[in-house]
Structure 1
Amino acid sequence: MKIISKIKLFIFFSTLAFSSLLQLLFVGNVWANQDVSPKLEKPLSPGFDLMLVGGGLKTCSSLSPHSCVDSITFSPNAKLSIQYHFSLDWLERALNDASLQTLSSNQTNNLRKASRKAAKSSVNLNQLKDAVYQVDKHLLDELTDQQYYALLDLLEQEQHSIDGSPLQEQVRLDATTKPYGPAIYRLFTLQALLKKQQKNPDATRPLIGIVTASARDPFESISFYTSAFEQAGADVIWLPLDAALQAGIHHNQCDKLPMLRQQLQGNFDKARLYPDHTQLQQRLCESPEKLYELLESIDGLFLNGGDQSLTLTAWLTPDKKPSKALAVIKNRLVNKQIVIGGTSAGTAVMTAANMITGGTSDGAIQHGVLSAKPPSERCEMNQCDGDIPPTAVTYRAEGGLGLFPFGIMDTHFSERDRQIRLLMLTASTDSEMGFGVDENTALLVNIADKHLSVIGEHGVWVIEQTQARKDDNGKSIFKGVSHYLTSGSQADIDNKQRLANIEFANRVVSVNMAANYPAYQQWIVQACREGRLSRKLIDDVELILLPSSTTGCQSVLNNQQSYQGIKLLLQQQDD
């Protein structure tokens, strides 16, 4: 009887702590505006399996001081910037590497000239670019991705403290100007603890595994996520899963990991900069069963942001089949033994089918949506030529990790005006639903109950009942019904793959909508006031917003942002 009472006591206090943190998260902008937080009539469900973050978790760190309060200081062991050797001897070292042998003599000579012009031998990225630009303004843009990143990696400088230990990025959750990011890290940690307490009621710290394969350089952000989750109350391990490790295990080529990292992940010379982490990857490649044991032991798994295509290769074998690592976490997710979270690319990769990989709303209108490999991100910045226009919307029809079974996931949503691209992709692929998560915001998902909750600063856009067809003149028409759930709101997904039982939080936004919110959100307000709104977009394409009921607009008209049942029609106007 004593053991049973003890277990019940732990569950009670854990749930109480969880609910308290949720209440803090629900208030959204109230924290930032110092208002009194409203109480929810019905608390959100305390259990969730997935935490899908829209990116932009602004967190105070030594590499992101703009997210810190003014008085913050870091220890002498903090990395304050990424530095590069740009002396002639280090440049010659880089140019002698096999990865840069394809540079032309003119390119190498101009790099040498830039090195001589540089004000100092240790520079940050902007200073390096400026020095090269003064000699040849097109040089860096003309480099291939392999050449560009090899040059940066080979020049990157090791940074050590006085005692010889490597400098690391330091995080200060308590000194972050906006509370949402730190609160989301803490909530994920608390849910991981609840998972752990299912088998060990006395546990006080969960074990969280981080996978950073979304980044071209997965080593760079290890210290950030380790520090963030440790401060949130967890023990943390880095899992060196990436495309190189999967290939090394699959082909029994662990002795070729440096080459595989170059070819598959796109990074160079990392053993010099991160000897301990590259050695860990080597050991787990040679003994993959230890990797699977770690995946069985963690209570939470968190995936970083970057490129979802890279994230996916960390969990698939080289022949694009699910790896044993993926099978392990899927089995544990089904059995509710683990909570899985991701931010940005780490969210997008959760999609079961038609994983979005790139593009913009304007690009979707101009070029359509394409089942194709996306162009380089550097192409979008530099407008380089290629088979796929840099702004075209691309997707992987086979999907991502398959952890989120309800539709397509998209991120950085309202901030980057991605409503049109998600509407067109969802409709074009016959996907039943699409979800767009704003920055500093998370969608919590209870998979078995088909229950959704929203926490953070902004909201989650949901599109359903989508259709794509051609009219009699061959012009494309896209239709759908949209909803917007702000922090503290919740809903269920019914058997028809539609939102049901929507409950909005009573959360008033005390900011000027016209001045501070994206155009799309302003259009919704106008459509709700006028009963219908038509907006001409690029290339003579018209977007019509039609509220399906007055009740669907009540929250947005009360300056609470939330709405439901807005019908969308996207069509090309007649000549």
Structure 2
Amino acid sequence: MLLKSLILLLSLLILPTSSAKEFSEHAKLFLVGGGLKTCSSMSVNQCLSTKLIESDDKSQALYQISKESIDLLFQYWPSDHLERQKKALKPLLEKMRQANKGVLNKSQLRRLWIDNGGKKLINQLADREYYLMLDALELGLVNDKDFRRSERVSLANTKNQFSREIFESFTQLAGLKAAAKGKKAPDILVVTASARDPFEAVDFYVDVFSQAGAAVTWLPIDAGLNALWQERGQAANICHYLEQYQADKLGTIKRKFVYPDHFLTQQQWCQSPQRFINAIQQADGLFINGGDQSLTLQAFKNKDGSDNALLAAIRKQVDSNQLVIGGTSAGTAVMSGGIYDNKPIPMITNGRSAAALVRGAKADVLPSAGCQKDNQCGDVLNEDLTFNSQGGLGLFTWGIMDTHFSERGRQGRLVRLLEDTETRFAFGVDEATALVVAWQQMDTITMQVVGQTGVYIVEQGTGENKGKTLTHFPTRDDVIKLQHGQLSFTFADWKSPVVEKSLTQNFADIFEGENYLVAVDALCRASAQKQKLVSHYNESEIQISLLKGKNWHNGVGKFSTPSGEKSYCSYQNVSFYYQVN
């Protein structure tokens, strides 16, 4: 097996030089599976050294319980919701205020409510009310000179070299767009609309892409602002309503005190909507953060489901090869949509594998986060597989996108979603990994895996494989081509077909953590032709059989990184069968 050194830029060495250049120049999507562990003042455990972190950097959120913050919380508490908890929470917070009127970090705040007998009550709050409470109690880290402490990134000091590579690779692709326009450095827009608090991650993304070599601007769109425009128009004098819309649509409050500079920036852009379009037209890259893809979608769609002006401008720039779009986690999942093989491409919104295989997929419903705490889930449970039948942004039209894939055992949910929606292809991207997608004609696309692990592909078989669910797992540096409805794979030139060992792994539940990844890696390296696995959901046992097809191939290789060697086993054509007992 071949060794290959880690290059912290997009590596396309398995393609001929001319093909690599063409691929990079026509790359339009950069789809990351989340899990970008990056050194920053808020994540010092991800740093090689903490020496670069300064005392005035933001290292944690701080809170204080005051009469005003308690009143603010209940001013925004959703009507007729969690009334019992609401009634009990007010005296608890008052008791906590009397016990400690000082400034607290999150751990100290949690200890305070536990010491005052509030653990059970706080645990009974649904996510919306819990985060609303934290918003109300949070302090703005602003001094008397209007200096706000901000999160600071140290990309070069990041432990996980694959995370660093992802940010630098996206910046490099945006740089190719910029170079074609005669610019020295790329202009990258960052979108934080996937988060319930769209202000929180602005500092991080602006800093990380600046350190990667780009000129970075926050594009301050979110579901609240888009709803405001939809309902009240785009006159400058309506922007003072934005706070209320963000409270209603996002469940976030008090942000102008916590992030006054970002709040002012968004107000200024709100008053000049054409500024958004101009920024998109001038950008070389646009990157969407993680969080909730349903919130991202609400930021870019009109009420009737059509593109708003921002998404229309983005689509035009992508189609003309002027802009590369990136996303991580929810920012990747939201890319699915459109029509492929005469079938609409849905957007996945929720679900765990075992529950999905037993209970199936549910269209156009979404459980409220934490709904089980107040018996508000109804027929849709927190672990249920759900999807938006109208899809997401529709920038990736060839299949369903999923993320945090191998790390969270999501293989089962993607198999079931393909089955229930009769979608042809689905792609599950692992953490700190990206699927780079390039095309000139829509019927022929080329994709490459960049970063830490791989991309799990599920395919509904055709021809002699009709009725079968096929799975493939290209890993780092592998190339996938989808042409006229057919997938083909070229494994990296540092991988070779190798059979190394026999199957030995046994797992109580194959969808717990990375169990599936580990088990199937063993099958990939073994002479065995099949593997039997098991999972459980409540009283049901799920029996899973994996069978290598006659066109099965693998590619095994090792890759050296500063932290040591990483071994890969790519494969294609493993059939997935399951039975629920």
With the length of structure 1 as denominator, give the TM-score of the two structures: 0.85
Cα distance in 2 for residues equivalent to 1:360 and 1:381: 18
Q: Is the partner of 1:333 in helix, strand or coil?
A: helix
Q: In structure 2, do the counterparts of structure 1 residues 161 and 74 end up closer, same or farther at CA, with 3 Å as the change threshold?
A: farther
For residues 321 and 206 of structure 1, what CA distance do their matches in structure 2 show? 29
Q: Please tell me the residue identity of whatever aligns with 1:240.
A: P
Residue 523 (structure 2) aligned to one of 523, 526, 541: 526
**Cα 1:318–1:517, aligned 2, differ >3 Å: closer, same or farther?**
closer
Change (3 A) 1:342 1:370: same
Aligned match of 2:342: none
Match of 1:7 in 2: none
2:24 matched to which residue of 1? 46
**Residue of structure 2 equivalent to 1:566:** 574
* Distance in 1, Cα, partners of 2:73 & 2:480: 57
- Give the direction of change, closer, same or farther, for the CA distance of 1:223–1:376 in structure 2 (3 Å limit): same
Q: How does 1:320-469 map to 2 (within 5 A)?
A: 320-352=305-337, 353-379=345-371, 385-448=377-440, 449-465=444-460
1:277-356 mapped onto 2 (5 Å cutoff): 277-352=262-337, 353-356=345-348
Q: Which SS does the other structure have where 1:421 is aligned?
A: helix
Aligned to 2:243: 258
| Superposition RMSD in Å | 3.1
Equivalent position amino acid for 1:192 in 2 = A
Contact 1:243/1:313 (<8 A) preserved: yes
Alpha-carbon distance in structure 2 between the residues aligned to 1:286 and 1:163: 26
Q: Which residue of 2 aligns with 1:176?
A: 158
Q: Equivalent residue for 2:341?
A: none
CA 1:561–1:299 in structure 2 vs 1: closer, same or farther (change >3 Å)?
same
Counterparts of 1:171 and 1:556 in 2: how far apart (Å)? Answer: 33
Deviation at 1:217, TM superposition (A): 0.1
Could you tell me whether the CA contact under 8 Å between 2:57 and 2:149 is conserved in 1? yes
Q: Determine helix, strand or coil for the equivalent of 1:555.
A: strand
Q: Percent identical across equivalent pairs?
A: 34
What letter matches 2:518 in structure 1?
Answer: Q
Aligned in 2, Cα 1:26/1:239: closer, same or farther, shift over 3 Å? Answer: closer
1:493 matches 2:482? yes
Query: Distance between the aligned counterparts of 1:81 and 1:373, measured in 2?
Result: 35
Instruction: Between 432-441 and 284-293, report the one with greater CA deviation.
Output: 284-293
CA contact 2:368–2:377 (8 Å) conserved in 1: no
Q: Check conservation: 1:513, 1:522, Cα contact below 8 A.
A: no
Work out whether residues 168 and 212 of structure 2, in 8 Å CA contact, stay in contact via their aligned partners in 1: yes
Where in structure 1 do 4 or more consecutive aligned residues deviate above 6 Å? 100-103, 380-384, 512-517
Post-superposition shift, 1:254? 2.6
Conserved 8 A contact 1:141-1:382: no
Deviation readout 1:337-383 (Å, 9 max, x if unpaired): 00000000000000012100011101202321111332133347998
User: Structure 1 63/382 Cα, relative in aligned 2: closer, same or farther at 3 Å?
Assistant: farther
What is the CA-CA distance between 1:422 and the residue it aligns to?
0.4
C-alpha distance in 2 between matches for 1:354 and 1:41 = 32
- Provide the C-alpha distance between the structure 2 equivalents of 1:277 and 1:263, rounded to a whole number of angstroms: 19
Rounded to whole Å, the distance in 2 between the matches of 1:567 and 1:272 is 54
What is the rounded CA distance, in whole Å, between the counterparts of 1:22 and 1:462 in structure 2?
Answer: 25
In 1, Cα distance between the equivalents of 2:365 and 2:535? 27
- What is the 5 A alignment of 1:9-158? 23-24=7-8, 40=14, 42=16, 44=20, 45-47=23-25, 48-86=27-65, 88-95=66-73, 97-99=75-77, 104-118=86-100, 121-134=102-115, 135-158=117-140
Instruction: Count the aligned residue pairs.
Output: 529
Per the alignment, in what secondary structure is the counterpart of residue 224 of structure 1? helix
SS where residue 138 of structure 1 aligns? Answer: helix
Per mean C-alpha deviation after superposition, the further-off stretch among 225-234 and 62-71 is 62-71
Which 5+ residue runs of structure 2 have no aligned equivalent? Answer: 338-344, 507-511, 559-565
1:497-523, Cα deviation, whole Å (9 max, x unpaired): x3114333525999x996999322333
Deviation per CA, 1:506-563: give whole Å up to 9, x if none. 25999x9969993223332237432112223222322111111375145389963101
Is residue 478–residue 569 contact of structure 1 (8 Å, CA) maintained in 2?
A: no
Moved more, 47-56 or 134-143: 134-143
Cα drift, residue 212 of structure 1: 0.1
Relative distance call for 1:186 and 1:359 in structure 2 (3 A) is same
2-side partners of 1:50 and 1:67: how far apart? 27
CA distance in 1, matches of 2:555, 2:244: 58
Q: Name the CA distance, whole Å, in 2 between partners of 1:417 and 1:559.
A: 20
Gaps of 5+ in 1: 1-19, 28-37, 468-476
Distance 1:150 1:520 in 2: 37
Aligned partner of residue 48 in structure 2, secondary structure: coil
Q: 1:25 and 1:530, CA in 2 relative to 1: closer, same or farther beyond 3 A?
A: farther
TM-score by length of 2: 0.84
Shift of 1:157: 0.8
Q: How many angstroms apart in 1 are the aligned matches of 2:108 and 2:372?
A: 22
SS of residue in 1 equivalent to 2:152: coil
Counterpart-to-counterpart distance in 2, 1:310 and 1:335: 27
One-letter amino acid matched to 2:46:
S
Question: What letter is aligned with 2:219?
Answer: L
More off after superposition, 380-389 vs 332-341:
380-389
Q: Which moved more, 1:395-404 or 1:120-129?
A: 120-129
Distance 1:95 1:360, change over 3 A: closer
Structure having the larger proportion of residues in strand: 2
Q: Is the 8 A contact 1:464 1:480 kept in 2?
A: yes
The letter for the 2-side match of 1:521 is L
